[in-house]
Structure 1
């Protein structure tokens, strides 16, 4: 084989390097010419995927990039996808209010495809006829005001069970109270509520005599949170689809395992219910599953396939358990560290409800300060760093920047809620900032997008009423039913966030002690 001098190989290397530099330069010039939002320079074809892989967790890297560039809007190219990150309320309103129709779709990607049973659901599916169909099902038949009233008693059963569960941990303890895992109590309350609303049952198994979760419910809720942790979690395969086969970051495997675990509990219930109706063994609709099974199209045929029912139920489950449980765990931790806030919230409950009965849903509108405390937790401690991605359905311009068709728009929950331009002392827990001078109603949604709790627009959360009710009831029952203090070995609650997400680094353990008349708790035992 003919050999070439060393200078020849050196020249080849130099030429290849020059070619790479030219390609990157042209790519950067093209980016500038299109007036994209500012962002890091990546590589042709792969964009900033390498930076994304190296800098974990990705949401922290994105926020650091924006901080370093002193920008409230950034464009980070991952594969061939333009990811637009936003921390400005003014720009957020441009995307989700002024140009809401353009940005009303969702991504086609691995994580959403698996989570939605093949894009069959209402929340995470891209814009199209299937989304319109399922959105209509939720709005008209599942989450309507009439259905909310219809399901009232089921929600109250689980609110009662929450108090029973915490009280049973206290009643055999010393006078000083009992140490309670607030994360378990809050998550299982949320899981119990949505299981009761959908399936008409609290437990998939035998449950626990004290009202706590059985092993089946622990596995079920844990799997729901696993799905949430890998859904739109900056998986490589979400931006370079052909790499899905290799599952480099493990997200596909995590999702499939978690979905399989959830389906293990859901599918037998769904199949049995369908057969029960077919055999005429059930006469009246009693829960959401009954409603979904019995929906008919104009020709009298079932409106939903069994796969649509399965997918939509999983989606409703994961959309229900996260926000209320996370907000209340954080709120209680913050309030234990600021006892004057905790005392004020408890005093409001005593004024509105008294100590001889439990707080009811009819009381919630009067709990102005309690709601302000919950809203402040949504602002300061959101369940996720970004909202569910919105996808641009056409080329457009926002604030003078070009936003290409197919861009993924991520509104930063932490960036909006902690924006120092908008919020005074943004890192301090201050519920009073949400109170109006006329002491009028506090709502957990911010329509001006100065913070993001339930989103807004065509893709706004269809379950705002249910989510707000669950959040306020969970919080009110814990604050009304018990006093809360830091553990003896931890006089100040540690408020450290997890390294990997926006949850608390450790579950909240706090000392609970009953504060109502003893007969109130005794009635729950019967």
Structure 2
């Protein structure tokens, strides 16, 4: 039977329409694409490329540069890791959709360091995190507590000036390692706030650290270095027993070293409170032990107290020293900037006393220098990872549930779409107008200081105060010049990190009347 012309006409019309409808439905149902990134292998994702291109953060920098993108996705195992260098996209993650990205990774490293996610920063989203963050915000770093601990902070600011003064006198050549100075100022201060003690042992006669403090601070930096270090076992847990690169062994040993110093103090203090031999709060540890629930029972377990103290010490040790070392290095290569900061300090403080916390609101240029240090030289390229608790869309890209979100601090701060001359140290860019008070916080995320959103660093006031006082005491109290063999300070970064490749060792000279230094003895 022959087909009629009408049949062919209808058939030729229906088939294209049918194909169009199918394509339209498929297109409509198709999820938006992932952010751009390298094509992953089955099962292992981009882990082979990561292993072949250490350090990982520089490999990621190169990927983003090659793709000319401000958001990228790499897959490690079955986890999508999303990297961001755009302030507007970062704000969408951490402000607009903050509730979706409020969790943390579940991996061996963070679980071990936090004794099973008991702490405020590392714990995933849930009741334990809410409990511990409330303790931090309401009990440890509230404005009232900050004022309560003022004298302890002053004692440690005085001690670091005394230590530097003694170093200059005793070294003969006046050389001072300012990295060493900065690290131990922060260590001393945190120990004083937590345990009301500067040293675990006897310290050194010149006011510096003893062998115990040196071992302790080294362990803190080892934990920091390996906690979120793109370890293979964090993405392929079934390979953990192999312990690639000795990652787990390093974390265990360093954590146990810290606990060796913490735990006896904590256990003895809890015993004192329970038997009534201690009744007066002197430090953060006393506050944590004294907290009670509605039934007048201890609000925190001993393990929660130990874990939270561990997290505080690890989280506090790095930012202040790194910032101050970098900005002093930059300033010695631009002496006019160092002179301007010194002039502001002398104008506000004079030369008959040391700079105090009460002077900080008037030190706008000093704070501008510190902001510029955070912008240009962050301590690490990534913030603590955020984890998405559901599928969502950000900046027209699909972000799967369980993705790890990392804001690239250096990428944000050196973004040429945001900052003019992004690689140049220019503190003046942060001074907006007369009477404007410079702050170290940054809600717009055009540079990454303390973060934003519900998982931001809650200790903005304390962190700002520590950094400003360390820098201001060093600049106000001493004149600094490069050593004769290094007239220009080397500003190279470590290949495997964003810290300065060489410690800042420079010539120091007291610039205040001698009686000012003697008043601290």
TM-score range, shorter chain: over 0.9
SS at match of 1:307: helix
Q: Distance in 1 between matches of 2:58 and 2:406?
A: 13
- 1:320 is aligned to 2:316: yes
Residue pair 2:71, 2:83 contacting (<8 A) in 1 also = yes
Q: Matched residues in 1 for 2:200 and 2:491: separation?
A: 34
Aligned partner of 1:4 in structure 2 is none
Q: Give 2:56's aligned residue.
A: 58
Q: Is the 8 A contact 1:368 1:439 kept in 2?
A: no
* Aligned counterpart, 2:90: 92
Is the Cα–Cα contact under 8 Å of residues 190 and 324 in structure 1 kept in the other structure? Answer: yes
Aligned length in residues: 493
Q: Distance in 1 between matches of 2:201 and 2:275?
A: 25
Does structure 1 residue 243 correspond to structure 2 residue 242? no
168, 171, 174: which is aligned to 2:166?
A: 168
The question of whether the paired residues in 1 share the 8 Å contact of 2:86 and 2:412 is answered with yes
Q: Does 2:279 correspond to 1:279?
A: no
- 5 Å-filtered alignment, 1:51-200, equals 51-172=49-170, 178-200=174-196
**More deviation, 337-346/431-440:** 431-440
How far, CA to CA, are the matches of 1:78 and 1:140 in structure 2?
38
Residue 248 of structure 2, aligned match among 241, 249, 252: 252
> Are 1:397 and 2:393 counterparts?
yes
Which among 206, 213, 220 is matched to residue 224 of structure 1?
Answer: 220
Report if aligned partners of 1:349, 1:476 keep a CA contact under 8 Å in 2: yes
**Post-superposition offset of 1:300:** 1.1
Contact 1:324 1:471 in 2 (8 A): yes
Shift of the alpha carbon at 1:296?
Answer: 0.9
Deviations 1:4-38 (CA, angstroms, capped at 9, x unpaired): xxxxxxxxxxxxxxxxxxxxxxxxxxxx9651001
1:370 offset after TM fit, Å? 0.5
Is residue 459 from structure 1 mapped to residue 465 from structure 2 by the alignment?
no
**After superposition, what is the alpha-carbon deviation per residue over 1:32-81, rounded to whole angstroms, capped at 9, x for unaligned?**
96510011011111100111111100011011011111111001000010
Q: Which residue of 2 aligns with 1:267?
A: 263
- What runs of 5+ residues in structure 2 fail to find an aligned partner? 1-29
Runs of 4+ in 1 over 3 A off after TM superposition: none
CA–CA separation in structure 2 for the residues paired with 1:382 and 1:338 = 20
Give the secondary-structure state (helix, strand or coil) at the position aligned to 1:250: helix
Matched, 1:306 2:302: yes
Inter-partner Cα distance in structure 2 for 1:173 and 1:250: 39
CA distance in 2, matches of 1:140, 1:256: 31
- Could you tell me which residue of structure 1 aligns to residue 444 of structure 2? 448
User: Of 454, 460, 484, which aligns to 1:488?
Assistant: 484
Aligned partner of 1:360 in structure 2 is: 356
* Alpha-carbon contact 1:116-1:124 (below 8 Å) kept: yes
State the Cα distance separating 1:171 from its structure 2 match. Answer: 2.6
Q: Residue 32 of structure 2 contacts residue 396 of structure 2 at CA under 8 Å; is this kept in 1? A: no
1:435 and 2:431 are equivalent in the alignment: yes
**Separation (CA, whole Å) in 1 of partners of 2:188 and 2:367:** 22
Is this contact kept in 1: 2:223–2:255, CA < 8 A?
yes
CA distance in 2, matches of 1:209, 1:373: 33
Counterpart check, 1:381 vs 2:381? no
Q: Structure 1 residue 249: deviation in Å?
A: 2.5
Q: Scaled by the length of structure 2, what TM-score is found? A: 0.93
Question: Is 1:36 equivalent to 2:34 in the alignment?
Answer: yes
Deviation track 1:141-161 (CA, whole Å, cap 9, x = no partner) reads 101110000000000000000
Aligned-pair CA distance for 1:172: 4.3
Name the TM-score, length of structure 1 as normaliser: 0.92
Question: Shift of residue 439 of structure 1?
Answer: 4.2
Please tell me whether residue 498 in structure 1 is matched to residue 494 in structure 2. yes
Q: Any conservation in 1 of the 2:219–2:254 contact (CA below 8 Å)?
A: yes
| Partner of residue 410 from structure 2, selected from 408, 414, 433 | 414
Whole-angstrom distance in 2 between the partners of 1:250 and 1:94: 37
Output the CA distance in 2 between the equivalents of 1:33 and 1:480: 58
Q: Is the 8 A contact 2:31 2:398 kept in 1?
A: no
Aligned equivalents of 1:60, 1:377: Cα separation in 2: 20
- For residues 362-404 of structure 1, what are the alpha-carbon distances to aligned partners after superposition, in whole Å with 9 as ceiling and x for unaligned? 0011110011111111110000001110111110001110000
With 149-158 and 244-253 compared, the bigger mean Cα shift is at: 244-253
